[in-house]
Amino acid sequence: MKVLIVDDEKMIRNVLREYVEFEGYEASEAEDGLQAVRMCKEEDFDIILMDVMMPGLDGFSAVKEIRKSKDIPVIMLSARGEEYDKLFGFEVGADDYVTKPFSPKEVMARIAAVTKRHKAGSPPSREVLRFEGLEIDMAGRNVTVDGEKVELTPKEYELLFYLVKNQGIALSREKLLSDVWGFDFYGDDRTVDTHIKMLRSNLKGYRRFIVTLRGLGYKFEV
């Protein structure tokens, strides 16, 4: 497994590289967001450890740029632990968020959990589902609304696919957090609500397919 470590502090990169290589993974380093974007264009990585506060191009902006061409799991690393920062990280496409100072062992455990979820969430076969003017290409991770492709974050894709696969089933917020984000995810019910809001906005007129179940959660129903 190839891990890209992005941080402007050499000491942090060295510590993470030591643990990553101890686990038998291959480690590459970038000093800032711009270098990380360039490296991701030139080669493939299995996961990225991305610092947030960096000179030049910050981590959030780097993730946005990388997501335009590649779907690589990202764990954000930041000294800013406010809920707003974490939610913003998930909105731009991060899969997990670790607050500094952190335990390198915890980061390794999160790498294992995120990559496992990412592999499990990849649909094995080509399947295009159609619900009126809404088309969902499960394997291609493409969603079109009335023939026009819509851009979703990786987590919005996962949330939509999960809702669709469980069509007609009432899903609590806790169930969605557990199965889409993972049992070890740091967050609360508002994380689900935030992503549902963004997803509905992207689905435009077909937002009505995502039904709110007051006091419980949501379900996909046509």
Which of 100, 105, 6 minimizes the C-alpha distance to 62? 6
Alpha helices in the chain, H assignment, sequence order? 10-22, 33-42, 59-67, 83-91, 104-120, 154-165, 173-176, 189-203
The per-residue pLDDT for 47 is: 95
Collect all residues with Cβ–Cβ distance below 8 Å to 39 and sequence separation of at least 6.
4, 28, 30, 45
- Transcribe 24-60 into DSSP letters: T-EEEEESSHHHHHHHHHHS--SEEEEESS-SSS-HH
CA distance 75 to 95: 6
Integer-rounded Cα Rg, in Å, for the chain is 18
Domain boundaries, the chain: 2-120, 128-220
Per-residue pLDDT tens digits for 21-46: 998 999 999 999 999 999 999 999 99
Query: Does domain 128-220 fall into CATH 1.10.10.10?
Result: yes
Per-residue pLDDT tens digits for 111-124: 998 888 777 655 54
Which CATH number is associated with domain 2-120?
Answer: 3.40.50.2300
Per-residue pLDDT tens digits for 132-190: 999 998 777 889 999 999 999 888 998 999 999 899 999 999 888 888 887 555 556 68
Q: Give the pLDDT band (50/70/90) at residue 125.
A: very low
Work out the burial of residue 110: count CB atoms within 10 Å of its CB; fewer than 13 is exposed, 13-18 middle, 19 or more buried: buried
User: Peptide bond before 123: cis, by omega within 30 degrees of 0?
Assistant: no
